[in-house]
Chains A and B, each alone.
Chain A
Amino acid sequence: MSDRILEKVQILADAAKYDVSCSSSGSKRQNHNKGLGNASDGICHTYTEDGRCVSLLKILLTNFCIYDCAYCVTRKSNDIKRAAFTVQEVVDLTINFYRRNYIEGLFLSSGIFKNADYTMERLVSVAKKLRLEHKFNGYIHLKSIPGASDELMHEAGLYADRLSVNIEMPTEKGLKLLAPDKDRKDMIQPMNYLKEAIILHTDEKRLLKTSPIFAPAGQTTQMIIGATQETDKEIMYAADRFYKGFNLKRVYYSGYVPISNDKRLPGLDTGVPMVRENRLYQTDWLMRFYGFKVQEILNDFNPHLDLDIDPKLSWALRNLSLFPLDINKADLQLILRVPGIGVQSAQKIVAARKFHKLNWDHLTKIGIALNKAKYFIVCNSREIFQKDFSATKIKQFILSGSSSKYIKHNTEQLALF
């Protein structure tokens, strides 16, 4: 018996790993019944060798699937070993891993067997069993199966903390090309249902404290990057629409890992576009935490993000007329826009300047990346780095990692060729 379960874990973890989301945050579920577990703010219990957070038992219920999406290892036509857990097996694994403090909870997804409702029903019954029979208050993330009925989505919302539908392709065109038998409408429908239901339950909860919690950690989605030809602009505009249209908590960007020699896709020898993926995440952060509008970062003049510098620096170099900022006077919202200053440092600057006028030394100690920031700010010091340099020059300085006069000559010369 133990061999069989070992093999299932291997196969079904392998198949689940391309879903990048592993977050267990956003829920405040308490251990109210002296049962097992509570939601935390997203503890990563370990990290894989590729450096990704392991917070949840992320696994497929089964990798049997009736669809044939070209970008997916689980696709029907792929010649791989198939396996399926029973509902009880997933429940036992989750409980036993959780009790040993390996995980924060479960992220259960599945290939689609028979039909959408049949699959969704199984996912829901795992969550239901955990909650009702095992008094489990840890985190549960369920995949919403495209095309699942509203009734099942409702039940899912009652037991899960978070739900997600992976939109996979940033544009409808991309989806048509790689997953011709899938319909974008089917993906949107459960998302839409949940959006409305979450709003409804939040209102209800405000009026009546005892009303049940419903998907407290909201919805997320994932897009695969680099499998089709979309521009960064198309990707981030799609993300922006999802954030706004469906109140999504997160959009994940997953660099396409080549898994097939299908002609429609990048070949097996192409690398994973990890830098691009990182730049997209940075853009996403700028939109969510730094007060940027997506149009400021990506537009028809700049449909792609620079790969060699981060998007905030790119933006600042295109808008040099707004700088330098006086760090001792500028509003927090503006300080947040300075390259090399993160949210925490910006807040610290605003707090600390009430006591002292800040100089370069203070700023270094507060922990800002001075090598970038110094070209965009002035502070309480005679030393000024921003000397009306051109954008190209600042970029050169920053990339060469130094502004010493010796290197200055070199980069100028290099730029001639």
Chain B
Amino acid sequence: MITTIIYEGSWLSFLTVVFEIYERKLGAVNILKNNKAQINIFGVPLLIGADPPKAKRVIQGLKAKLTTEGLKNLFSCFLSEIEGIENDMLSFIRLVFENEKSVETAYGYPEVLRLSKIGRMVYREKHRMEAFVRFQLTQDDIYYSSIEPDFNVIPLITNHFKKRYADQKWIIYDLKREYGIYYDLVEVNEIYFDFKNDYQSVKDEKIFKDDEILYQVLWQDYFKHINIASRKNTKLHLKHVPKRYWKNLVEKF
């Protein structure tokens, strides 16, 4: 019989799920995120929230068996939010615990290859966002940027921006997932806008500094003039800058 597990959706709660599966010696399971859970579930689902000590034990177990890269990759897969990823991650984790040797690079196992591929996709999105964030300077001296990444990469890019822009205040806001991060010159915190009110004002041009538009125009002009027309290669251009990102890219406004 398949046990359905509904969990809270956070990384810690997913790790708690793994703990419970081992603790209760559950066989076949189907792990669903709280908000994704459908009504047509057979039997009574198991509801699991985050339990930090339990999660920590799973992490320690994984750390003993995986390299830092391997663990990072697992976390990246989690951030993909791809439907059913939890089940793939679970079968990978089972493989890790069952084997004496590290299975991290045993690409002959389908779940190892799949997670390595998904991890790479998420990693690519992280890179894209490090590249595609475009800050606009507001009147109150905060550099603001909206993003709409394919995956939930904010946790993966926080450090990069914190190190790089240590001397300016900034906000990176994920419009799809409706949360963002704010750096206030000391630390980074998660923030949530009350959309109807706050976000409208973000879009309002008057909130930006006077020379913000000048720099945007300069950048657009630079972008145009650095191009060599006789080498035009639209296919390559679109491969690197897919259309779905354009609406947040100043040079593509």
Contact = CB atoms under 8 A, between A and B. Distances in A.
Contacts of A271: 230
Contact of B132 (A45, A51, A53): A45
A275 interface: no
Given A35-B166, A348-B105, A348-B107, A6 B226 contact: no
Nearest to B213: A2
Interface residues of A, number: 57
Nearest to A358: B108
Contact of A31 (B135, B145, B163, B250): B163
A100 B108 contact: no
Interface stretch (A91-99, A142-150, A215-223): A91-99
Contacts of B163: 30-31, 38
Contact of A272 (B113, B227, B231, B237): B231
Contacts of A30: 163
B184 interface: no
Contact of B237 (A43, A50, A58): A50
Which of A9, A17, A53, A58 gathers the greatest number of chain B CB atoms within 10 Å?
A: A9
Contacts of B235: 51
A38 B113 CA distance: 34
A46 B238 CA distance: 11
Interface stretch (B32-40, B43-51, B66-74, B216-224): B216-224
Contacts of A48: 223, 226-228, 237
A402 B39 CA distance: 49
A101 B133 contact: yes
B135 A352 contact: no
Interface in A331-378: 348, 351-352, 354-356, 358, 362, 365-366
Nearest to B103: A355
B24 interface: no
B64 interface: no
Given A51-B240, A101-B134, A43 B127 contact: yes
A36 interface: yes
Contact of B136 (A44, A51, A100, A356): A100
B131 A45 contact: yes
Given A45-B131, A48-B226, A51-B237, A100 B221 contact: no
Interface in A1-57: 2, 5-6, 9-10, 13-14, 16-18, 30-31, 34-38, 40, 43-54, 57
Contact of A49 (B131, B167, B227): B227
A356 B112 CA distance: 13
Nearest to A50: B231
B106 A356 contact: yes
Nearest to B133: A101
Interface residues of B, number: 53
A6 B221 contact: yes
A86 B116 CA distance: 50
A38 B239 CA distance: 27
A243 interface: no
A99 B143 contact: yes
A179 to B, nearest CB: 21
B82 interface: no
Contacts of B145: 101
A102 interface: yes
Contacts of B241: 46-47
Given A45-B131, A50-B236, A100-B219, 20 more contacts: A5-B218, A9-B225, A10-B221, A14-B225, A17-B228, A34-B167, A37-B165, A43-B127, A46-B251, A49-B232, A49-B233, A51-B233, A51-B237, A54-B226, A99-B165, A101-B145, A102-B134, A102-B219, A355-B105, A358-B108
Please list the 7 inter-chain residue pairs (A to B) with the smallest Cβ-Cβ separation, ordered nearest first.
A51-B236, A356-B108, A351-B105, A51-B233, A50-B231, A355-B106, A13-B225
Interface of A: 2, 5-6, 9-10, 13-14, 16-18, 30-31, 34-38, 40, 43-54, 57-59, 93, 96-97, 99-102, 135, 255, 257-258, 271-272, 274, 348, 351-352, 354-356, 358, 362, 365-366
Interface of B: 101, 103, 105-109, 113, 127, 130-137, 143, 145, 160, 163-168, 214-215, 217-219, 221-223, 225-237, 239-241, 249-251
